[in-house]
Amino acid sequence: MLSDLTTPSPVPRRFLSELKDMFQGKPRDFTTGSLGRAIVLLAIPMVLEMIMQSIFGVVDVYFVGKLGADAVAAVGMTDSLMVLLFAVGMGIAMSAAAMVARRIGEKKPEEAGIAAIQALIAGAIVSVPVAVLGVLFAPELLGIMGATESVIAIGSGYCAIAFGSNILILYLFIINAIFRGAGDAAKAMRVLWLANIFNLILDPMFIFGWGPIPEMGVTGAAVATAIGRGIGVAYQLSLLFKGTGHLRVSRSQLRVDPEMMRRLARVASPGIVQYLVGTASWMMLFRILASFGSDALAGYTIAIRIILFALLPSWGMGNAAATLVGQNLGARRPDRAERAVWFACGANAVFLGLVAVGMYVFAERLIRLFTTEAAAVAFGVDCLHIVSYTYILFAFGMVIVSSFNGAGDTRTPTWINVVSYWMLQLPIAYFLSHNAGMGPRGAFIAIAVAQAALAGIAILLFRRGTWKQQIV
């Protein structure tokens, strides 16, 4: 009896052993065995990956915040422009993850490798015109976003470098999605850990000028981030062509496969539109807030970075569900795929419920980590308070939308985004902030309304089950 109480249970030891194997990148079949264990094993490295993804933006704003509200506004405006690129990258990445996951579930690792290569080629093609546009027209792009002359003067260099190095952003998205689709989530996590360590070290060096490095201000943040991302991409490519785990990628596959590229484009096209609808609405929201001055923009920019820091781990849970959906549909186990989604929804709701409480209670302390300007702090706190009310609902929306994409059904989330963001968020934001005289608070309320609507619509459509018949 005493020995039963003091001897460690074999279940925790087994789980820790499996988790260790996961972090080491050892292959695992997620189409059989305990569903809860599979979600946790996938979600832990994915959550850590998402935390690292969000740290890129948080680190930049933390150091740039020392330069004043105009500097933070310049970073925020550039990021609002870059979300259009993020939409393309996420669309390609989502398509690649769905195709790789399906091929892995079908036990076809060579075809998974071919799909991965097509995604890399597509990313390279997209990056060239984006780089040219950003480098040549950075001041004009900031002007379109409503930047003042002082913001344009401070932020043009940052904008040009961010756009000029966009292939690094695309490849971080795409290759990490390939790893996740293959079930190698730990690789994606390690990549972003490495990139963020360099970004954290280099940011203050290039922004404030340390040693032989001249002081570059806001532009230095873009330089540091590009170097960090470049190191991460180099590591990604080395892991990808090493061919460990489930995935088989070789240099002999470095060619355009017309049929596979066509299938990638078919899934990616509505996926790109899906993210464009969502991200472009955030860009327009930023444009609405620009009319209220740099303090409102700075407060909103800081608040959104904090919100993303909280939500990206939650998206990691969604990515875990998407991987399980793709692989289990490939293994012809749709019921297991559906159970995985509901399990992830419940876990995500618990997590975001706790985050919402912390966000509400410590809102002012969080904002003051980035700025001490009273007006900016007030706007940031208001944003955090209002958005936190719908976190639990949004937990369901994030997981289910990711699961649609994991199944290769990219059209349904596109329509969900159209309704939630374009038909609800933007009109409500403009009406409340301008016509109803609520100012920036009206835009913050619109964000909360859109999050709640997205969750409700996603749940209703998911229960129809048409995503189980999707072919990719």
Question: Does the residue 154 lie in any domain?
Answer: yes
Tell me how many domains the chain contains: 1
**Which one, of 162, 164, 189, lies nearest residue 175 by Cα?**
189
* Residue pLDDT, tens place only, 435-457: 998 999 999 999 999 999 999 99
Which domain, by its residues, includes 134? 42-463
* Residue pLDDT, tens place only, 213-251: 899 999 999 999 999 999 999 999 998 988 666 777 888
**Which range is most confident: 48-57, 78-87, 384-393?**
384-393
Question: Does the residue 468 lie in any domain?
Answer: no
Tell me: pLDDT of 11 over 70. Answer: no
Question: Does the residue 7 lie in any domain?
Answer: no
Question: Does the residue 31 lie in any domain?
Answer: no
**Dihedral of the CA atoms 220, 222, 228, 234 (nearest 10)?**
-130
**Which one, of 13, 182, 155, lies nearest residue 82 by Cα?**
155
pLDDT band at 294 (very low <50, low <70, confident <90, very high): confident
* Residue pLDDT, tens place only, 53-106: 767 767 877 888 888 888 888 888 888 788 778 788 888 998 999 999 999 888
**How is residue 29 written in tokens?**
């079949």
Tell me: pLDDT of 5 over 60. Answer: no
Q: What does the DSSP 8-state code read for residue 207?
A: I
**How is residue 131 written in tokens?**
């780089």
Q: What does the DSSP 8-state code read for residue 214?
A: P
Average pLDDT over residues 156-182: 93
Question: Does the residue 4 lie in any domain?
Answer: no
Query: CA dist 250 to 116, 193, 362, Å?
Result: 10, 25, 49
Question: Does the residue 33 lie in any domain?
Answer: no
Contact between 329 and 407 under an 8 Å Cβ cutoff? The reply is: yes
Tell me: pLDDT of 8 over 50. Answer: no
Question: Does the residue 248 lie in any domain?
Answer: yes
How high is the mean pLDDT of the chain? 87
pLDDT band at 277 (very low <50, low <70, confident <90, very high): confident
* Residue pLDDT, tens place only, 344-364: 999 999 999 999 999 999 999
Amino acid 7: pLDDT:
41
Question: Does the residue 395 lie in any domain?
Answer: yes
